[in-house]
Structure 1
Amino acid sequence: MGVSRLDVFYRRLLLTKLFIQGWGKPDDLKRIFEFRKIIGDREKCKELVTKDYPVFIDKVEEQSDCRIHNGYFISPLEHILPGILPKESVKARFQFIVPRKWKKHKPVCIHLAGTGDHFFWRRRTLMARPMIKEAGMASLLLENPYYILLLRILVNNS
């Protein structure tokens, strides 16, 4: 199936360069809509990712108040719907910041990157470390997938 005329017309009207190559392959969009039915069912969704799903830790940094685990995992969506993710999104990188003395209930806050939050530094320094000091709470910082690509481009061009 080719590109729709409406899609081509709409792209010409856009002032920005977002979605200039269309919204994706029609077959991929159908797969995503079918997958929505699965994740909408709580019982089916529980079985999508096993409890022993592999997570890899590259490095552990010892700090005075915490340990910082740098690691990654392959997105489970890559196994469930192969080829649906852009290659930059297949490997998810993270930092897991754990207090040296973790409380009995082991609370964890997940921090997603906001606009302009390219790396871990801001969330680690301004949110995760203070949460350790104030509440003994660990933090999981997920990296936005395209920022690592941006970093590689900047390093290679300098």
Structure 2
Amino acid sequence: MPPSKLDSIYRRMLITRFFEKGWGTPENLQRLFEFRKIISRRETCYKLIPQDYPVEITRNNKYSDCSILEGKFISPLELHLPGVVPKAAQEAHFQVILPKKWREEKFKPMCIHLAGTGDHFYWRRRNFIAKPLLKDANIGAIILENPFYGLRKPDHQV
């Protein structure tokens, strides 16, 4: 089925372009497809990241309603497929939002927030999703900065 005229017009009107220069070298794409076989199996996936994987906490801000930690770590993809991820995206950045006090010491719910397309930095997810969840349900948050966005955006990328 050919694309509709509406789809064609919409695509021409978009300001941002995705993957204009392709998805990378054929060799890297092949490596990604091979690695997919490993990460799609639970038994092998669990063994990819050690329990003591190094994570650096760079900031710990305390507020009246919560604590917000910021940190970074090397993307595990860079360890398993060196060179596939651009240099700027190799270091993953995140925020963790924790309540001042957990309602139950044995039950500490956390929600992982991944960014949607065009969602740079943490502000939107932190203020519109994570903080209301924290206030209403005492659920903490881990907010990850996506590769190619915000702090992980390569300099040459528009």
The size of the alignment, in residue pairs, is 140
* Residue segments in structure 1 that go unaligned for 5+ positions in a row: 1-13, 154-158
Q: Which residue of 1 aligns with 2:7?
A: none
The one-letter amino acid of 1:137's match is I
CA distance in 2, matches of 1:21, 1:148: 21
> Higher mean Cα deviation, 102-111 or 49-58?
102-111
CA distance in 1, matches of 2:108, 2:19: 41
Question: Normalised by the size of structure 2, how large is the TM-score?
Answer: 0.79
Matched, 1:147 2:153: no
Q: Which residue of 2 aligns with 1:88?
A: 88
Divergent runs of 4+, >4 A: 14-17
Q: SS of the counterpart of 2:68?
A: strand
Q: Which residue of 2 aligns with 1:125?
A: 127
Q: Which residue of 2 aligns with 1:134?
A: 136
Higher helix share: 1
The one-letter amino acid of 1:46's match is Y
* Residue segments in structure 2 that go unaligned for 5+ positions in a row: 1-10
Kindly state the Cα deviation for residue 137 of structure 1 after the two structures are TM-superposed. Answer: 0.7
CA distance in 2, matches of 1:23, 1:142: 22
Matched, 1:52 2:61: no
Kindly state the Cα deviation for residue 19 of structure 1 after the two structures are TM-superposed. Answer: 2.7
Q: CA RMSD in A?
A: 2.3
Q: Which residue of 1 aligns with 2:42?
A: 42
1:92-125 Cα deviation digits (max 9, x unpaired): 1111001111232211001112234322122111
Q: Which residue of 2 aligns with 1:67?
A: 67
